[in-house]
Structure 1
Amino acid sequence: MKKINCIIADDEPLARNVIKNHISRLERLQVVAICTNGAEAFRAMKEIYADLIFLDIQMPQVSGLDLLRTVTKRPAVIITTAYKEFALDGFDLNVLDYLVKPISFERFLQAIDKYENSINPGLSDYPRTLTDTNLVSSEPFIYVKTEKKRVKIELQEILYLEGIKDHIRINTLNHGIVTYQSLNYFEERLPDNLFLRIHRSLIVGINHINSFSASKIEIGEASFPIGRTYLKKVAVRLQNL
């Protein structure tokens, strides 16, 4: 199997080590350069062949975003940052994915799958190597706190989660469940490959989307508007369906 050559560009030693350790757990990836500032990353992209770069946004000398605006011939880019507000800027510069620190291995793996699908659609559906399969245990369900107990919900059965005043209603194939946990709480814990936030008060199950346009999504007989601040993010996600 051809190795995927990776550059890590980040001024924080801990952040570099996290990405390096994640890469070391996948046989098909290898690190070809580690950069501590934007200038080093610029030289690495010019001098070293790489398929993929994990690029921090805020670095000394040259920021990650300035680097993307400067270098036209570059590897696929996965942004790594502690700041969610830069996401739209990154997608405007045609980055592959946007990882918010701290970066879990599960989220890292989703980004790698997205890269592999971008160069060879369907590749991420192939069986993983033995080294890969020992790494992530992603449960197909969650327990939701209600007033008196915790209720088990299968992820594949969730149609959408809707924020209504001071509570959240989780609508599934069979029933609805009310919880007082926040929508942000669920956004952080639900897998990105199955769920998508389209509005400040709505998260939808991607597999249950019947149709969509630039401004709305339909699930069953329900129709939901896409929030203005979510339009670009949702468009990027839906174009890969």
Structure 2
Amino acid sequence: MKRYNCLIVDDEPIAREIIEKFCGYLPSLKVLASCGQAFEAMEILSSAKVDILFLDINMPVLDGISFLKTLKKAPQVIFTTAYKEYATDAFDLAACDYLLKPFSLERFIMAVGRAEERLKQLEKPLSIIQETSQIDHIFIKAEGKIYKLAFEKILYTEAQGNHTKIVTTDQDLLPTITFSTLQELLPSMLFLRVHRSFLVNMSKITHVEGNRIFIEEMQIPVGSLYRDRFMKALGL
């Protein structure tokens, strides 16, 4: 069985003990270390391979959100916190899950399952990834109809509450699907998240001006949290 190395970062000793105990129930997890503040975690991450990071948010000196932003190549992150108001920021940083204390073992196992699924996707052989990339469309249900949408026709998508606006070369659709769910359906090598509410088809960008992306006559903002990744995707 594949085992994944875990690091626990939480300033509360009891919280660390609970997570260690929960990890002990899962044979796929190996706890490499458990520490009480971010700077100690930095040293561990620089010297050991960590697959899953259990990270508290409200910590002294450097909080969990700020700590994660400092990592150039982060593990799969599961936030563990008593504060629900940070959830949006956490998912903006591509966290696997957000566990509100006190959380149950069942909820913990679900979060770990999501992290392991992401890790398995990263471990897939190139041949499987290439085979998957041959898919060039998705089916979306909107307004009582099912539409076949070719990736090449999708310009961008925009989060609008429980709906997601899909702007294509032919029409605009407003299916009842969450933004995060749609993002998972679209190939990451073609569609890039550039803002909390926007996902763009990189091949459709006509030009970039400041913090705005132009696709034909449409302007899309680039969020500050996404700018570095966006510029790297452009090769700049």
Task: Report the TM range for the smaller structure's normalisation.
Answer: 0.5 to 0.7
In the alignment, which residue of structure 2 is the partner of 1:75? 75
Do residues 96 (structure 1) and 96 (structure 2) align?
Answer: yes
Q: Distance in 1 between matches of 2:2 and 2:117?
A: 15
Q: Which amino acid aligns with 1:110?
A: M
Q: Distance in 2 between matches of 1:14 and 1:4?
A: 23
Q: Which amino acid aligns with 1:26?
A: L
Q: Which amino acid aligns with 1:31?
A: V
The CA deviation at 1:224 is 9.2
Matches within 5 A, 1:186-197: none
User: 1:151-193, CA deviations, whole angstroms, 9 ceiling, x for partnerless residues?
Assistant: xxxxxxxxxxxxxxxxxxxxxxxxxxxxxxxxxxxxxxxxxxx
- Structure 2 portions without partners, runs of 5+: 122-139, 144-156, 165-173, 186-236
User: 1:36-86, CA deviations, whole angstroms, 9 ceiling, x for partnerless residues?
Assistant: 111111211112211010000011221111111111122111111000000
Q: Distance in 2 between matches of 1:3 and 1:31?
A: 10
The CA deviation at 1:239 is 3.7
Matches within 5 A, 1:5-154: 5-120=5-120
Q: Distance in 1 between matches of 2:96 and 2:142?
A: 24
| Number of aligned residue pairs | 144
Q: Which amino acid aligns with 1:10?
A: D
CA distance change for structure 1 residues 25 and 65 in 2, over 3 Å: closer, same or farther?
Answer: same
Q: Distance in 2 between matches of 1:13 and 1:237?
A: 35
Q: Distance in 2 between matches of 1:69 and 1:105?
A: 28
Do residues 236 (structure 1) and 167 (structure 2) align?
Answer: no
User: 1:132-152, CA deviations, whole angstroms, 9 ceiling, x for partnerless residues?
Assistant: xxxxxxxxxxxxxxxxxxxxx
The CA deviation at 1:236 is 2.4
CA distance change for structure 1 residues 210 and 105 in 2, over 3 Å: closer, same or farther?
Answer: farther
Query: What secondary structure sits across from 2:8 in the alignment?
Result: strand
Asked whether the 8 Å contact 2:9–2:54 carries over to 1, the reply is: yes
Asked whether the 8 Å contact 2:12–2:36 carries over to 1, the reply is: yes
Q: Distance in 2 between matches of 1:52 and 1:210?
A: 35
CA distance change for structure 1 residues 100 and 211 in 2, over 3 Å: closer, same or farther?
Answer: farther
- Structure 1 portions without partners, runs of 5+: 122-208, 227-233
TM-score by length of structure 2 reads 0.54
Q: Distance in 2 between matches of 1:238 and 1:95?
A: 17
The CA deviation at 1:14 is 1.1
Q: Which amino acid aligns with 2:97?
A: D
Q: Which amino acid aligns with 1:236?
A: S
The CA deviation at 1:119 is 2.5
> Alignment RMSD, CA only?
2.7
Q: Percent identity?
A: 43
